Structure formats: structure tokens, C-alpha cells
Amino acid sequence: MRDDNPLSNDQLGAILKAMPDPVFILSRSGRYLGIFGGIDERHYHDGSSLVGKFVHDVLEEEKADWFVHEIQTALQKGSLHVVEYGLAASDVQGVAVGSLSQRLWFEGRIQALEFPVAGEDAVVWVASNITARKELEVKLRMLSEVDALSGLLNRRKLMQVLAEHFEMFERYATPTSVLVFDIDHFKRVNDEYGHQAGDQVIRTTADVCRRELRVTDAPARLGGDEFVVLMPHTTRQLALPIAERLRTRLTEAMRQLGCIGHSVTISGGLAEFDLGDSSAEDVLKRGDDALYQAKRGGRNRIMAPA
């Protein structure tokens, strides 16, 4: 029979070896049966030492279990199976993999082979480094969710988080409080000391929020000099001392700003999700109303009406 393939076995081997992304042949049990390609040294290290080892020799147990599960899924499907996964230094054991100073991200394209290799069902696993793409995705998500000046959640993300917590409140009646506050006489700061000083006040406010609030709290910049803090699993009574501590710490931090010639304070209003609320906007409005009570009462205070 005439062989129509113009390539010799040596040539086919050279082509596989020249592939930029690494190609792994992995058995059902997770044994590395062969490795080809991966010559793009910007993204990959020499993996030839892996041949003959099992993924459980190379990776921490939880990560190795995940790899074996994905191999078995691809064998069961019989069609192309695509996954995304990260690898950090803490995931790897037993072999030198070069410097893993940051988590690397890969897309794995896994295809079952139609014949056994070394007596086992096996797959071809092509691993493509997508770390740059994942980092771009993170940056784009940050731009869509985080306020550029303060680094806190922006209005769009805040409303999303509020809606999610309101759903939880409707289902489980979990107490949740919201603090709405703004910076007293902020226009005066901008008018007398310039917008750079105003920006510094905003950044300082955000820094104090990150430092003084609990890890479960979600501070956000609603817009201008107005801020909102979501306090999950917290009644209004429990939220009040947290809000007062924040007010005190903010006043202390503002005194240390060399660009401001007078003290800067905040006024705030506390509100709690109520069974009569139809949406998260209702609690925001009550918090806003309490804020204006604080303004009318002389500023530099937190109001938490029942």
C-alpha cells in the first residue's frame, strides 16, 4: 500500500518538538507518558524531567486530584475538553519548575486518544499560557468595579453588592446595616485649597476605611464626597460604635494632612435592612435621610434613628 503521508516519522517528531505550547501525553491514572513542544521560553520551562512521574509526584494533592479528574472527564466525553487553571509555587512539589513568583494561568485543551499508551487509556493535554489575558481581565474588572480615585468599590459595584445582600436578607432575615456619610464642607476644601487637596481628602478617607473597618465590611465611594459602608451580619445598634470609631479616626487622619488648614470631619447616617423594604434602595434612602439629620444637627456626628 502506498503511503500518502509526505512526512517521515523523524519529521513528525521534529514538528511536535517545535510546537510553542507544551503537549503532554497523560494516562488515566495521571502519569506523564510523553512531553513535546513548549519551546516558547517566555512562558514555559523544560518539562522533560516529568516523563515517567505521576501528577501526584509533582503537584500538591488537591491540585493533582483536579488534574486526574479532568483527564477522566475528557476520556469519558471522548470529545475536546477545555479547562482553565492556575499554578502557583505552593501547588508544585518534587521537581524544579523555575521561578514561580506569581500565579500562572493556563488553558488546557484535552483530547482522548483512540488507542492506549503503555497499557492505559490516555489523553493529549495542550497547555497554553494565558497569564497575560487573565491579568488583563482582572484589570478590566477592576476598572468596572473600583473607583479610580479612592480604590474603593464604585457606585455600580456597590449597587450590585447591596442587591445581593438584600436577597439574602429577604431569604434569611440576616441583619445588615448601611452607613451613608460625606465629608463636611468638602466644597470649601476644594475652593480654598484646590482640587489636589480635595483628592487627597478622598484618598485619606478611603485609606482610613480600609484600615479601620472589618474585613467583612464593604466600603464604597458613591460619588463626589459621599461614601457608603455595607456592614453584613450587623444590627444598627452594633454598627453604631463601628461608625463612631470610623468618624473619630477620620478626623484624626485629616488633622495630619499638611495641605488642609482646618479640621475636616464627616457626618453620617445609619440604617438597617427592614422587612418592609422593597429593595436595597429603601435602606440607602433611610441612611441618606439620617445623614441630613446629622447635617442639620451640627455636623461631625453619626445619626442612627430607629
- Cell 487627597, residue located: 200
Residue 38 C-alpha cell reads as 513548549
Angle at 38 (CA atoms; ends 59, 114), nearest 5 degrees: 75
Q: Exposed, middle or buried: residue 96 (CB in 10 Å: 0-12, 13-18, 19+)?
A: exposed
Catalytic residues: 225
Distance between CA atoms of residues 188 and 42, nearest Å: 53
Distance between CA atoms of residues 54 and 222, nearest Å: 52
* R_g of the chain, CA atoms, integer Å: 29
Residue 25 C-alpha cell reads as 501525553
CA distances, 167 to each of 31, 162, 170 (Å): 46, 9, 5
Question: How far separated are the first and last CA of the chain, in Å rounded?
Answer: 91
Residue 180 C-alpha cell reads as 451613608
Confirm if 242 and 234 have CB atoms less than 8 A apart: yes
Q: Where are the alpha helices (DSSP H) in 49-154?
A: 55-58, 61-77, 131-145
What angle do the packed helices 280-296 and 155-172 form, to 10 degrees? Answer: 110
